[in-house]
Structure 1
């Protein structure tokens, strides 16, 4: 008969208040810690059995059972793992997992407000139970031949009691928590079930949940008839309980063993997203570190949905946390997936990463695998890659902006959709257009607003790329910095030489005419337009066009973006130029009567109308401008009908 009272080997009683207050950021993590320890105990026993150092019953089923009892206010965790002897209980429980507790307290006594800094220096997983318990009991029986059962009791101080267990034990361990009043939520079956599913959905041992207050379901008997009409009772057994976890998650399998349907099913189950993912990357690394996982590229309903990614981090199939930026680069958090890395230097709470150079290596490797997958898709399935582009471009562009190494790996596979519907790399676009506009990349940010310019470009066999995502303003500046000599120019900010007339005269008479046209429009329009320019365009039907300075437009957009960050909105305005086509018949006629005082009002009237037509082509008439335009049109109709 074992009987011993003693003190846990800590030289101060302050350890338990620290554990209760600082050990974990979320109280519910104690369930994860106890269950994962139970699974570890089973794994150790299975290992001993495989080595021939322990014996198991034939076809023995390994399991962890969580039992709650609201009436008794208890929560039990049972396993049929390796168990412990009296000496092992003293060693693993009473010595707080080999810690130098005195050194610990001395080192961290001044850091009471930095809870996470005092975690991880010793194995306190079991002691998380005292966050929610007034009393903790351990009943355990070792696998060793002739071992005696042991009971360990502690009520949250440093005193403990060890006796022989009064439980009828098989091999393994039962941990009983007497839940305190502040933590009664952990006696709710639904609550406990959700916590187990959150943290333990993929642990390698089956986990079951029982409510001791619920009566056990008894077999039912149904009356049926034989062929001869005689009756008999058929026993209908209650449905067997099902484990709460999947012991063999998909990421633990080899990619060659997984089907597309399995990947899709796993995605639906884990992320509750019933839209099929575009594609996925299965990580399976054994050297120089152990890393497994699956990253999914989701199909987006709209651009801003890209901010709602979820990458779950696991350690030996135990859930740690969502979206841990130290391991998973920020831009990859736009994706959905699971990453399992047993080699991560996690502390005891599994909730914070210690500083370690291996973390950076793991993070870099994940980036490399993603870049490799994208490159392979581009090279081997280009049509599919093109089809995915609208969904994945935000992720890729954001990745380039956040991680230059990622950009260097994938810069040659960046593609852009053109106004002709083609998907093309920057290199190919520049090669195609070098004779028309060397190193100048024309782009469209709003196909509807810039439709007239697009029509003009297509008419003269010019191409432009479509950059209409909210991130593109930054992305263009980034590419201009990275790609020497490349400059992005919106389709309505410059006139390509191709659009200009080849036979524009340059004699004194032409220069005099241009001066007259410029004066005419400036005097007629006043401050309605900041700049006027005269050009000879191939398309003689167009009297005028609005051009918006690329530089001023970008500054204006940046001003709007940072309006809430001490930069006044409207600090920068778009600089607009009215380009007058001196080959247009209306413009020529106006110039011919400009100096006729009797035509002064008509000239002003038509100049204003030409300006409004140019604005309409760029979809930028204000309500006030529209009122004036409609009024002017009515006047024109009246004049025409009276001719």
Structure 2
């Protein structure tokens, strides 16, 4: 029997490749966080398809439905628990459905599976990166139906369907218009997404600035006009504040902003913020910032860490570039961004942003010193890190450095300030290391410098040691640690009159050396101490103190290698100890005093491993002092 109606062939069943099956299993059963990413991925794919159509129509007007509005529609059926995302982009042929929806590049699939298993990143970060964005639908759906018709006028519509198992079907469909319609049949535990308000919330968070209208019903729900795409003169201060708060959940105003819009040498639209505080965010208390990367206003990476040097990781913001390739998939762009070797476009973006950020901060320092002082208090530690790690930008970073010194009071100075205040005959820049700023201020190493009126930079945190690995000289002036033994200081001062003769000092030194043993190399009389009883100095063969502090910063145990203990023979404490040594070489106070003098020196320099161990000894010394009185 025959009929006038043509028989429609049954859908053809096909198997997913093995690597796709692995990806689907992980998405359906392992990744439960960031499930809302599925909508971001579908909207971004739809936007890509419309972008490709625009690119095609630059040279080819022979497309299906050329007058159709370029837009994205989202429909929700609460009763059926379905979500449909529809676009008027390039669409897909039957073969393209098989090629694109049934296959993933093996290398990308392997990388995704490995990273998901190791849980190195959340779903939002890794799904798009490895070319598996479409498959994120199976995080929320137990069946997905894709109906599409290619922009090619003679192409037939096709339907693709899968339940996320090992196979999918492809068949003929009825679809008069160009574009793609994707229907998600939600899982029971994903029914929350079958709500207009929920989807609109997700769109606002991830896809608000997509270049094309996104409709829910008759209403457009995305802004479309991105703030960073506007000229800076068109943007009000309140709008910047609102964008910052939306991105960070930090309701303090940012300390500074950079709005960059340029066409050469690269198309780049960016707004970067310097937060007011190192730790910010109402809900998520974090130190590191996030830079969202867009291509033509389509979000391609939530946190593009490689767009600025790591020492600028406190920066918050958004970066958008037309020069990220138009006719390739966003997953390809994302993969490049996440790679160790950046593409030429990404390298130019990084170079441009880094240069402008340096210029902005230096201008802030020149024009608004009080605001820059606030910046330095919060983020100076990052600039010090940059000095140690980024030789290329070293000169720019040196301009940003700020220091306390022995003569600056509470004010901060630059290296240029220090150079301009050097005394006659001074040929080096001097610094002192301490366990804290206050400890550095009271360091015994400062005695000869105070006497001569020589300014000394005060270094009081662990990052200073790391910084010095990249800061050995400034404009021809060597930086010198004041604990070195071979310093030749300009200017003459009267040496303090010793109150101990050589024999008395030798007796005391022998007693103290016997107690301290291998902790010290030798004990000798100081020629420079005036107001302090003792100090530890390093000879030419000693290891760098800066490296020891770096080891401590990294949380590694370090040994306090032997150094020279200098005693001030004119100081009342040393004189009293010498008398005790002469009267009774076995006086227990001598042993306690020797250990305490050594520990005091370590403590002031920030090198003491466990200061609590000093407490019992201090109590014994206090008891002895009380008995004496």
TM-score, structure 1 as length reference: 0.70
Match of 1:439 in 2: 428
Match of 1:322 in 2: 302
Match of 1:340 in 2: 320
What is the CA–CA distance in structure 2 between the aligned matches of 1:208 and 1:491, rounded to whole Å?
A: 70
Corresponding position: 1:281 with 2:287: no
What is the CA–CA distance in structure 2 between the aligned matches of 1:551 and 1:535, rounded to whole Å?
A: 21
Between the two proteins, the alignment pairs up a number of residues equal to 571
The answer (yes or no) to whether the contact 2:385–2:463 under 8 Å persists in 1 is yes
Give deviations 1:113-134, integer Å, cap 9, x for gaps: 3458999999986676577452
Give the 3-state SS of the residue equivalent to 1:448 in structure 2. helix
From the CA coordinates, give the structure whose radius of gyration is larger. 1
Give the 3-state SS of the residue equivalent to 1:96 in structure 2. helix
What is the CA–CA distance in structure 2 between the aligned matches of 1:48 and 1:555, rounded to whole Å?
A: 59
Aligned pairs (5 A) from 1:236-315: 243=221, 245-300=222-277, 307-315=287-295
Match of 2:501 in 1: 513
Shift of 1:182: 8.1
What is the CA–CA distance in structure 2 between the aligned matches of 1:278 and 1:556, rounded to whole Å?
A: 35
What is the CA–CA distance in structure 2 between the aligned matches of 1:112 and 1:606, rounded to whole Å?
A: 71
Give deviations 1:395-421, integer Å, cap 9, x for gaps: 222233332222243334433232423
Match of 1:136 in 2: 145
Shift of 1:634: 0.5
What is the CA–CA distance in structure 2 between the aligned matches of 1:423 and 1:631, rounded to whole Å?
A: 42
Shift of 1:394: 2.0
CA gap of 1:32–1:480, structure 2 versus 1, over 3 A, is same
Corresponding position: 1:410 with 2:397: yes
Give deviations 1:566-625, integer Å, cap 9, x for gaps: xxx34344636242143x56766887x689x6x447998589769858976966791133
CA gap of 1:379–1:388, structure 2 versus 1, over 3 A, is same
CA gap of 1:418–1:493, structure 2 versus 1, over 3 A, is farther
The answer (yes or no) to whether the contact 1:74–1:179 under 8 Å persists in 2 is yes
CA gap of 1:459–1:515, structure 2 versus 1, over 3 A, is same
CA gap of 1:607–1:502, structure 2 versus 1, over 3 A, is farther
Shift of 1:192: 4.2
Give the 3-state SS of the residue equivalent to 2:299 in structure 1. strand
Aligned pairs (5 A) from 1:590-605: 599-600=583-584
Shift of 1:363: 2.0
2:343 to 347, 351, 357: 357
What is the CA–CA distance in structure 2 between the aligned matches of 1:494 and 1:632, rounded to whole Å?
A: 38
Shift of 1:180: 5.5
Shift of 1:533: 2.6
Choose 3-12 or 26-35, whichever is displaced more: 3-12
Corresponding position: 1:203 with 2:210: yes
Corresponding position: 1:522 with 2:498: no
Shift of 1:422: 3.5
Give the 3-state SS of the residue equivalent to 2:437 in structure 1. coil
Q: Aligned Cα RMSD in Å?
A: 5.2
Give the 3-state SS of the residue equivalent to 1:68 in structure 2. strand
CA gap of 1:438–1:527, structure 2 versus 1, over 3 A, is farther
Q: Which structure 2 segments of 5+ residues have no match?
A: 115-125, 605-610
The answer (yes or no) to whether the contact 1:97–1:124 under 8 Å persists in 2 is no
Give the 3-state SS of the residue equivalent to 1:320 in structure 2. strand
The answer (yes or no) to whether the contact 1:555–1:572 under 8 Å persists in 2 is no
The answer (yes or no) to whether the contact 1:546–1:615 under 8 Å persists in 2 is no
Match of 2:526 in 1: 535
Match of 1:35 in 2: 43
1:472 to 451, 461, 464: 464
Corresponding position: 1:155 with 2:161: yes
Q: Which structure 1 segments of 5+ residues have no match?
A: 83-87, 211-239, 638-643
Match of 1:75 in 2: 83
